[in-house]
Amino acid sequence: MSLYVETTGSGPPVLLLHGAAGSSRTYGWLELEGRTTVRMDFRGHGASSRTPGRYLIQDYVDDALSVLSEPAFVVGHSLGGVAAWMAAQQRPELVTGLFLEDPPLFMGEPAAHAANPAIPAFAQMRADAQRWQSAGATPEQVAGKLAAQTLPDGTTMGAFQTDEAVTARGYALTQLDLEVIDRILDGTLLAGTDTASPVTVPTFILAADDAMGAAFPTAHEARLRASHPDVEVVRLPGASHTIHDQRSTRDAYERALTSRA
């Protein structure tokens, strides 16, 4: 198996881990001054190899750890946040700190999965991606379709998310192994998440607004505080699950990250 990894800049490394059905291109706009920025595609995503039958959380943790040749600050969105969390549990000597964006740490539990409001959206994403891939749609064509999609409040995706985010998503959905989404839909992808073992490195979570479909809702935050009281959590009003992609919250995301990385 080969993993796509790109490195820019110089200085202490920061590893960026994307979410499920995304790719490293979601961070193409992000450069951290004085740091080496490392972007990677998880297996089954982007330019990395596909590994049918091996799309569970430990597989993604292994992907992240395989890239860490020296201690690094690790940033993760959604699935990437859970992988970063478990990488710090398993190899704390390789992780200097964590910045987790709305990580679904408890969504692998059967009850949480059953109540997860994002599951219907993933089912629709799978159907759309299968249709586009079968038709040979280009990333640009898919991005155009995504930008025109209407959200529940009447806003278009193109108005809600940055141009770079929509373009990156168009690329990601044309390259994605659809089995990745199958593992989300059947609840197995995150079933092995370890929320009990200690995390000894400084950890910051930037969480979405409950009203915007947070994957790390307030109820889960309370559970985490009980077991990991040193984790810092900031919940951003008006933020959706994709905080770094949202036009109205990208600046807040970047400020929070640069002040901690």
Residue 51 lies in a domain: yes
* Overall domain count for the chain: 1
Residue 161 lies in a domain: no
Rounded CA separation 74/103 (Å): 13
Residue 210 lies in a domain: yes
Cβ distance 79 to 50 under 8 Å?
Answer: no
Residue 121 lies in a domain: no
Taking the alpha carbons at both ends of the chain, their separation in whole angstroms is: 30
DSSP of 82-99:
HHHHHHHHH-GGGEEEEE
Residue 174 lies in a domain: no
Distances (CA, A) of 167 to 4, 86, 256: 19, 30, 24
The pTM (predicted TM-score) of the whole model is: 0.98
Question: Which residues on adjacent β-strands are paired with residue 235?
Answer: 207
**Residue 229 belongs to what domain range?**
5-106+193-258
**Rounded mean pLDDT of 32-43?**
97
pLDDT at 100: 98
Residue 128 lies in a domain: no
Cβ distance 206 to 234 under 8 Å?
Answer: yes
For residue 197, what pLDDT band results from cuts at 50, 70 and 90? very high
Residue 17 lies in a domain: yes
CATH number at residue 102: 3.40.50.1820
Residue 182 lies in a domain: no
pLDDT single digits (tens) 231-259: 999 999 999 999 999 999 999 999 999 99
| Helix or strand run (H / E) with residue 257 | helix 250-258
Question: Which residues on adjacent β-strands are paired with residue 15?
Answer: 38, 74
pLDDT single digits (tens) 74-86: 999 999 999 999 9
Cβ distance 161 to 247 under 8 Å?
Answer: yes
